[in-house]
Amino acid sequence: MERVFIALGSNLGNRQDNLNRALAALAATVAITARSSVYETDPAYVLDQPSFLNMVVAGDTALPARSLLSELKRIEVDIGRVPTRRNGPRVIDLDILYYGNQVIETGRLVVPHPRLSERLFVLEPLAEIAPDMRHPGSDLTARAMLERLREGE
């Protein structure tokens, strides 16, 4: 089993229902051990879209990282995600933030998530449930990354 952290976000349709459906679908392959509060956040990168609901979950999975990524993409499609512009609006978005303490870089998968340290909408819920979780690349805790990001605002 591997401890994973997954970010969930939604800004189209019934956002809370989309998160709930994703959580229910995740339960088939990830034993969720912690879940953050739900945060309403302004969009990042592409600003002309509705606000998001975001959260982070921690859990344990027997799936290898690439298989977990495939499962997350399948869940997104099942809930109704369709391809749009990069960082555009979406029914659901599921991202692997951490896969144990592993550093993974393949064409389809980069873990830890490469933009984790620049995303308040990820760091706030992550720091809520795992403030002392250390980034295997920088060795900074989730709390420290959040503080650095807030200081830069």
- CA 128 to CA 102: how far, in whole Å? 22
> Which one, of 131, 128, 122, 116, lies nearest residue 9 by Cα?
122
Q: Is 81 a catalytic residue?
A: yes
Query: Following CA atoms 109, 12, 49, 122 in sequence, which dihedral angle do they give, to the nearest 10 degrees?
Result: -40
Q: Which of the following is catalytic: 42, 95, 115, 150? A: 95
Q: Which of the following is catalytic: 21, 35, 90, 119? A: 90
Q: Is 95 a catalytic residue?
A: yes
> Which one, of 103, 117, 111, lies nearest residue 147 by Cα?
117
Q: Is 78 a catalytic residue?
A: no
Q: Which of the following is catalytic: 93, 132, 143, 150? A: 93
Q: What's the length of the chain?
A: 153
Q: Which of the following is catalytic: 15, 21, 35, 81? A: 81
Positions annotated as catalytic residues are 81, 90, 93, 95
